[in-house]
Chain A
Amino acid sequence: MERKLALSDEILLSIEKPARYIGNEINAVYKDKDSVDIRFAMCFPDVYEIGMSHLGIQILYELFNRREDTWCERVYAPWFDLDKVMREKDIPLFALESQDPLTAFDFLGITLQYELCYTNILQVLDLGRIPLMAADRDESHPIVIGGGPCTYNPEPIADFFDLFYIGEGEVVYDRLLDLYKECKKAGGAWRKAFLRRAASVPGIYVPSLYTPAYHEDGTLASFTPAGDDVPAVVEKQIVMDMTNAVYPDKPLVPYIKVTQDRVVLEIQRGCIRGCRFCQAGMIYRPTREKDVEKLKAQADIMLRGTGHEEISLSSLSSSDYTHLNELVSYLIEECSRRHINISLPSLRIDAFSLDVMSKVQDVKKSSLTFAPEAGSQRLRDVINKGLTEEIILKGAAEAFAGGWNKVKLYFMLGLPTEQEEDRKAIAHLANEIAVQYYELPKEQRFGKCQITVSTSFFVPKPFTPFQWASMHQPEDYIGMARTVNNEVRAMRNAKSIKYNWHEAEVTVLEGVMARGDRRLAPVILKAYRDGAMFEAWSEFWDWGRWLRAFDECGVDRDFYTMRERGDDELFPWDFIHAGVTKQFLLREWKRAHEPVVTKNCREQCSGCGARMYGGGVCFEGQA
């Protein structure tokens, strides 16, 4: 197959990593563009190496390309060097497979994984010559549809999208594409007709068909659908039969090294734990496991189909997978025979996981990860992180005895109800872990232990019990980190502890966007026009740009971050039904303040609402 690349040799040879832009990866799908009805460009609005590592796109790529009438291709955000060239030479953004410009496509699907990519959405539209505002598009432009976790509050970017898909892509895309074909065939002003009818497809949100109104204090007063045919509530879509859900046998294999350069085996979706800060733990409810025999077969097929030398298990909390022991034993045996590495993220540290990890990694070189998230037991109870100091210290002691001497600890700062002593407790916990190490007999130790403490600043997310919480100002965040740093330095084992903290301003921006509303679109647009892109890459971060944008648009960022919301405030995302009810979230918000721990789904159901889907962990052990 001969293709003409969109970029000249001269351009490709003068930019960094030309392989980002040429496609032709193993398992890429090529079709005859004249023999398909729908051309879908699937975009991850960040650089290739990040986008290619994303499992969701691999699943949707498979899902769409299984349809004979559809050709799904990929597009990523061009890095700064190419971005500049494309603007100078007026080259339109193209999809990797056909190298055709985005304007040749029926759909542009954009996956929204984090708020910091919002300006890159505009970059992709802009370079793709698609009007940035959905209202300015006509029949000649692709339908721009968003999906992924950020669609659980799509409002800040609602003006840029024609549609959002709320929930897991495997469910209603076929219906949506069939409807598209039907409307396009009918001709005339079919775009409007399609969008209107799409609103009735479960899970599809058409932002142009809803009008928000605000109270004088700035909070949302109402959110009104355009007519009786437009549902007031959009229902999240989820796959109930994970075992038989679409999964790629032959995922794409990039040439250049990407973040996730391995076979990714999704073992379950959802999490039984109910940490109160965690959005994924709420929106993917109920927990649904895949059959273990199916997983073994998939591991095999994907390793053969890609030639990868590593396989990784993917889930929010792998330790909670019922058949983990059986699956891991199988993988260890298969993979050692075939010289394949196994990576096991998100395992709780206990005797079982230590035993497994000692088999799959070099104990002396690798580090173990604990995520206590909060330093004190009181605060861990507030966030419902069911991890006690006793369990952490026991796990650390066992790990040290097993030969590890590097430990990574992850915490959050700025959590609801957090006080000075909770922050200091982070340092104390790290110190206690070091004590466990130095209590080992000398001959069992390998030099000093290395404890790395990392803190991020907490961002309240929609559909979590903390969606009511207030945030802090950047300088306050830095103050919190300083407290931890000073306390760490004052510890007896300070020399064994390294402390890193996250940037504060980015956190505030994330916070504004996470719980923002439609009044933020002009701010995002302004910041983009001012050069904001790749905001998740700290080397290009410029807070001043955002401050100017807020100022010039007359938008008060503190409105979004600096107030605790009232119990009965109407949120911009309340039109979405995500399974968990607002009563449950509010109940959890109150329990956090007592603080009372809520049991996990397997210990005791707490009636979150997700039982309505009729499956998963809510019905475990029942016929």
Chain B
Amino acid sequence: MKVRLKFTKEGEMKFIGHLDLMRCFQKVIRRSGIDIKFSEGLSPHMVMSFASPLSVGLTSLGEYVDMELVTPVSSAEGVRRLNEQMPAGIRALSLKQIPEGRANGAMALVAAAEYTVRFREGKAPAGGWEDKVPAFLSQETISAVKETKKGETTVDIRPLIYRMEAADGEVKLRLAGGSEANLKPELLMDTFVRWLGEEPQPFSLLICRTELLAKAGGEQDERFVPLEDLGEDIIL
């Protein structure tokens, strides 16, 4: 049975990198006694597929990993057993059965991500910046300077911003994410700050990824759904 686990990564866990998180999950699952499928071969490992790695320093309320249960458990029991073993800062939120097939895997499905962003104390741009977001967004193109291995390149990020709203010192974002097109919230915020006429400072942002989304319908449909909505509750 293919299943998808939704979980959080908060607090100190933001300092744990993606590879270490994967190792941590292997051990959490072993401790929980939940029976997960292993790969074949001489040194078998648990088959797990994370939707989208989260950069170190970011927290999240909406991470996903797909796995295959050998012995099914109900959603409620699975979540409970995992949470008994999770380190402080990681919480299992939901466990759902998902359709078979590679195209239904979390990694293939991710098309957008939502974030909330705050400036750290004393690091926000000068007053009234929230009100300038609509003007920023109304630009036809937004050029951002992206650092790549080969040097700097300029890209238009406007098409990758699906939503940007600011209120009470907090910015809510929905950005293109996944293998096809991806926009990092840091790049957007730095570009915004520069557009405001200020120089972006390092370590000025507190970013939380709140959801990973898949496209809801066909090519034309721009509606998105959270990845967990594509699964069904497991009731035994």
Contacts and interface: CB of A to CB of B under 8 A. Distances in A.
B87 A24 contact: yes
A256 interface: yes
Nearest to A26: B87
Given A24-B88, A309-B30, A19 B16 contact: yes
A253 B16 CA distance: 14
B42 interface: yes
Contacts of B33: 304
Nearest to B25: A307
B48 interface: no
Given A253-B27, A255-B20, A13 B57 contact: yes
Nearest to A9: B203
A10 interface: yes
Interface string B79-95: 00000010111000000
A307 B15 contact: no
B170 interface: no
B15 to A, nearest CB: 4
Interface in B193-222: 202-203
Contacts of B21: 255
Contact of B24 (A22, A255, A305): A255
Contacts of B43: 341, 362
A19 B15 contact: yes
A442 interface: no
B56 A13 contact: yes
A13 B59 CA distance: 13
B89 to A, nearest CB: 7
Highest count of chain B CB atoms <10 Å: which of A12, A24, A255: A255
Given A9-B57, A305-B31, A307-B26, A339 B38 contact: yes
A341 B43 CA distance: 8
A308 B27 contact: yes
A307 B203 contact: no
Contacts of A12: 15
Interface residues of A, number: 30
Nearest to B57: A13
In the complex, which range does the number of interface residues on chain B fall in? 20 to 34
B24 to A, nearest CB: 6
Contact of B23 (A9, A24, A257, A303): A257
Contact of B12 (A14, A24, A305, A341): A24
A306 interface: yes
Contacts of A309: 26-27, 30, 45
Contact of B15 (A3, A22, A339): A22
A1 interface: yes
A18 interface: yes
B38 A19 contact: no
A19 B31 contact: no
A25 B20 contact: no
A137 B187 CA distance: 51
Contacts of B73: none
B44 interface: yes
Nearest to A5: B12
A481 B81 CA distance: 57
Interface string A258-294: 0000000000000000000000000000000000000
Contacts of B44: 339
Contact of B27 (A14, A306, A362): A306
A496 B35 CA distance: 45
B171 interface: no
A24 B30 contact: no
Contacts of A253: 27
Given A10-B203, A12-B15, A24-B87, A307 B42 contact: no
A534 B116 CA distance: 42
A1 B88 contact: yes
Nearest to B33: A304
A306 B20 contact: no
Contacts of B45: 309, 339
Contacts of B137: none
B20 A18 contact: no
A309 B120 CA distance: 40
Top 9 nearest A-B pairs by Cβ distance?
A307-B27, A307-B30, A18-B15, A307-B31, A10-B203, A255-B20, A22-B12, A339-B44, A255-B16
Given A24-B89, A308-B27, A339-B46, 20 more contacts: A9-B120, A10-B202, A14-B203, A19-B16, A22-B15, A24-B12, A24-B87, A26-B24, A26-B27, A255-B16, A257-B23, A304-B33, A307-B30, A307-B31, A307-B85, A308-B30, A309-B27, A309-B30, A339-B44, A362-B43
Interface of B: 11-13, 15-17, 20-21, 23-24, 26-31, 33, 38, 42-46, 56-57, 85, 87-89, 120, 202-203
Interface of A: 1-3, 5, 9-10, 12-14, 18-19, 22-26, 253, 255-257, 303-309, 339, 341, 362
29 contacts: A3-B12, A5-B12, A9-B203, A10-B202, A14-B203, A18-B56, A19-B17, A22-B12, A24-B12, A24-B87, A26-B24, A26-B27, A26-B87, A253-B27, A255-B24, A256-B20, A257-B20, A304-B30, A304-B31, A305-B31, A307-B26, A307-B30, A307-B31, A308-B30, A309-B26, A309-B30, A339-B44, A339-B46, A362-B43
